[in-house]
Structure 1
Amino acid sequence: MSHIQVLDQITIDKIAAGEVIERPASIVKELAENAMDAGASAVAVEIQEGGISFIRVTDNGSGISREDVPNAFLRHSTSKICSVEDLSHISSLGFRGEALSSIAAVTKAELVTKTKDEPFGTRYVIEGGKEQSLEDTGAPDGTTFLIRQLFYNVPA
């Protein structure tokens, strides 16, 4: 019998991604729900090759502050609850904080976001769960997710 071992974070994230992201529609659903939770009055979705090669979801919601962007992609990070007591009065479409982490684990993802209070937007690139860049960019208020190459780094 094999010894019990603790899995490394990359393996953990890919397993979690398989539980959250069954197909491209799962990504669109999660990102559209986040847009609605951010108060968006408009959400645009563009897909190519059934969503396997490209998904873009753009909204005019509240955006994500620059300081929060990297944290948004960590497992179990969320803006919707702070403690167990908050679970009794959730008013959002999702709160577990696994969607962005799972999406980033198995795709090449890019986020462009801007809040109304920030003079510049933020562009964040994360591939296979690893941060590639975080920089200022011109952007309208709201958030755009660009998802490329779904499941590009999943072995099975």
Structure 2
Amino acid sequence: MKVRLLSIGKDRSGLYEPAVQEYARRLSHYTRFELVELSEASGRKLKPGDAKSAEADAILDKRKPQDLVVALDERGALLDSVELSRYVAKAQVGAKDLLFVIGGDEGLDTRVRDAANLTLSLSKMTLPHRLARVVLVEQLYRAFTILKGEPYHK
């Protein structure tokens, strides 16, 4: 099983990337993990909404037939850590890869949400998408420790 996190844009602040890399390193003990950063379309002087559409094209081009797509969106389902671990286990049993998608500044295009097997919300609060990456990667690490019965999740 492979887990990919597809994210629009990079962390230019330097605040979040070290945490993402730390949890990515930890995840490598349980699964193949890849962080894929796609360019933001908003810098290309597109009309409002066109950036989201261009980013959707780039995201959907990266989808593979064996992927279970999980779109992160504030309108998505709120899962606790154990429920997320069950979703990960379901993917493992089904020999599926997981593709988590975090959109850019304008969020995800409807086409990406419609193509998703699950739309997931990390919180009812709005999070910067760079912070959402940290939260998601930590929760994925937690999910794998839950599945292994390790003491990280208390």
Report the TM-score, using the length of structure 2 for normalisation.
0.30
Which one has a larger percent helix, Structure 1 or Structure 2? 2
The structure with the larger Rg is 1
Higher relative contact order (CA closer than 8 Å, sequence separation 6+): 2
